[in-house]
Structure 1
């Protein structure tokens, strides 16, 4: 093999597929889990419902090239994601929009707030909540405080174990207020769900005579790195090809500078003996209960069944070697710690880092596919 890929999520699988098809070279994938697909892995449960094992994954993108690329491996169902938030006993549309205003406030007050928002920001705009909180206008400030307190603050503290102002703006900007009547959670041009689920995408992507996959294998069992000589060894022999690493960068370097912090999740699936459990695919619970949200998969992948499967997500601190690292925690000191590891990695000519864990950043699915295609063109081809 001239190429070894560690990890079979989107980052690793896209690069392996490109090496096999474009370069016509052999590539070995090393995967710690007993399945391919990383956190996008899904399967049919005992109720014949496709469930996402590691939490809901909803494909949305404005990148035509990413949509076209993935369309080689799947047909799609058109799917517009909707999320409700349980606030003061009501379920209201998220992101918070003009419809939400009329759900929670009396008609006269709601009308006034709508006029103010459109005058100030224009119709169809998105305003990050932390920006709206700086408003001088007393009505807009009232709205900002309401949304912050009722929808944003407690959810963020549950999810991250931090206050919103302690978290990087790239995270907080993900939940804006929409000056719009659009109840869809996303506004991207392409919003779809793979017809047969995500796992089938990976199976088709990696079904190639040039690709070999080792499941149930920790990379440390077969790869060792000499940090002095900057050499990589595979099964005891020096490996002179390219190592594409999509796992945790701190683990690659034996945590020599310490652990990079993540948030993890305790995911609890339940079968409910009724056709549907809730009105929308996802309902957020910012202020009530210990879970952040409930997903009902039948809304995402409709199927005839008398039962339904739901998922409750309980965020938790990440314990190394115990929990799955889901979300990098973006703070200044964590970024500085990552930069130390990145400097180490840059000393290796034949090491390529790509993906959420290797680059310590949050990627949506379309972003990580785009990134993997770019890395293939720039560093591998």
Structure 2
């Protein structure tokens, strides 16, 4: 019997859509080309029993109460506020830049009220803010830009700050107080049993059939009567007919240190100016687990490999819009998620987009509507 929906991708977007639709009485067939569910948020125990994130650290944070409440159906939570240090010379300094960062870096003793005044003396006003370089120089000036942002950006994106859209740098604030949390969201938690356990509970429904290790193109013809929810790269869906959309990839170097209880004092340390990798994350900070050893991961950005980050440049956005027009006109298929919408969404934004997508499909001809792009709002 043909299911009501074929969902391609078992990450946040696909899994949330699957559960909402199944709870409404629909039958769902969920596939993923990887051998597991959870997408990039998938976690597992390494050979030494430490819970790690194979695809790099995933820290959940949101201001959206409805997203938090929805996911809470499938997990309990561990309170966790992520902190990041950046190595600049011989110093490890808080990032985002705050009062502590500036005082320690320059040997100052500025009060909170004086920090913004100091930044005003070093910033380089830019108008309009078109590139990430404009954003950073306008906010903190050239020296802080070069020490914390320019090198990191070159490694992460393979591009200079001046070659990236303004939105990339706008994701990281500058603070005048001593708040050293990486995120300032209302809700900052980690799934108590890990992300994979949360996804397993989400997909544990008689209306959902899950198959991993399955390529969409190989089985597409078997689901002619099903509405497709597609969460993969939008350009791949249309066989790259306008050319490939640029994505940035990552290589992960996982390491277990058997005789080291703690490798670093915070969850993540950034290396903006040294080494080929961008950062090191120690997972025990994130999970709160106890172990005689510790497991870390170094991240090496690269051009080739699995797509992780859409590259935010005007010409790439123009190319995406051509694919988005095809998606809008496509019948019987809906696109949702970071890769399908070519957007650098956080996990909570993807959950919100998936919830809206699924509810819209239920309201629109009971799931038999045309194609389109989801919205994260």
Do the structures match in fold with TM over 0.5?
Answer: yes
Aligned partner (choices 246, 256, 261) of residue 246 of structure 2: 261
Give 1:378's aligned residue. Answer: 360
Give 1:140's aligned residue. Answer: none
Report SS of the residue matched to 2:174. Answer: strand
Alignment map for 1:1-381 (pairs within 5 Å): 1-21=3-23, 23-107=24-108, 114=115, 116-117=117-118, 130-131=134-135, 133-134=137-138, 144-223=141-220, 234-235=221-222, 239-272=224-257, 273-318=259-304, 323-381=305-363
Per-residue Cα deviation, 1:6-45 (whole angstroms, up to 9, x for no partner): 0000000000000101x21110011101000000000111
Task: Using the TM superposition, give the Cα deviation of residue 348 of structure 1 relative to its aligned residue in structure 2, in angstroms.
Answer: 1.8
Q: Is the Cα–Cα contact under 8 Å of residues 129 and 176 in structure 1 kept in the other structure?
A: no
Which range is displaced more, 294-303 or 340-349? Answer: 340-349
Q: Aligned pairs, how many?
A: 351
Give 1:226's aligned residue. Answer: none
Per-residue Cα deviation, 1:320-366 (whole angstroms, up to 9, x for no partner): xxx11010001111111111111112222311000011111111000
Give 1:138's aligned residue. Answer: none
Per-residue Cα deviation, 1:230-283 (whole angstroms, up to 9, x for no partner): xxxx32x6x233110001111111111111110101100011131111111000
Gapped runs of 5+ residues in structure 2? 122-128, 364-377
Report SS of the residue matched to 1:36. Answer: coil
Structure number with the higher strand fraction is 1
Q: Is the Cα–Cα contact under 8 Å of residues 264 and 326 in structure 1 kept in the other structure?
A: yes
Task: Using the TM superposition, give the Cα deviation of residue 134 of structure 1 relative to its aligned residue in structure 2, in angstroms.
Answer: 3.7
Report SS of the residue matched to 2:155. Answer: helix
Distance 1:3 1:295 in 2: 38
Structure 1 residues 208, 115: closer, same or farther in 2, change over 3 A? closer
Query: RMSD of aligned C-alpha atoms?
Result: 2.0
Distance 1:352 1:83 in 2: 37
Task: Using the TM superposition, give the Cα deviation of residue 376 of structure 1 relative to its aligned residue in structure 2, in angstroms.
Answer: 1.3
Q: Is the Cα–Cα contact under 8 Å of residues 32 and 215 in structure 1 kept in the other structure?
A: yes
Per-residue Cα deviation, 1:103-122 (whole angstroms, up to 9, x for no partner): 111235788962615989xx
Distance 1:188 1:200 in 2: 24
Task: Using the TM superposition, give the Cα deviation of residue 129 of structure 1 relative to its aligned residue in structure 2, in angstroms.
Answer: 7.3
Distance 1:108 1:300 in 2: 32
Gapped runs of 5+ residues in structure 1? 121-126, 136-142, 224-233
Task: Using the TM superposition, give the Cα deviation of residue 215 of structure 1 relative to its aligned residue in structure 2, in angstroms.
Answer: 1.0
Task: Using the TM superposition, give the Cα deviation of residue 191 of structure 1 relative to its aligned residue in structure 2, in angstroms.
Answer: 0.3
Distance 1:156 1:97 in 2: 20
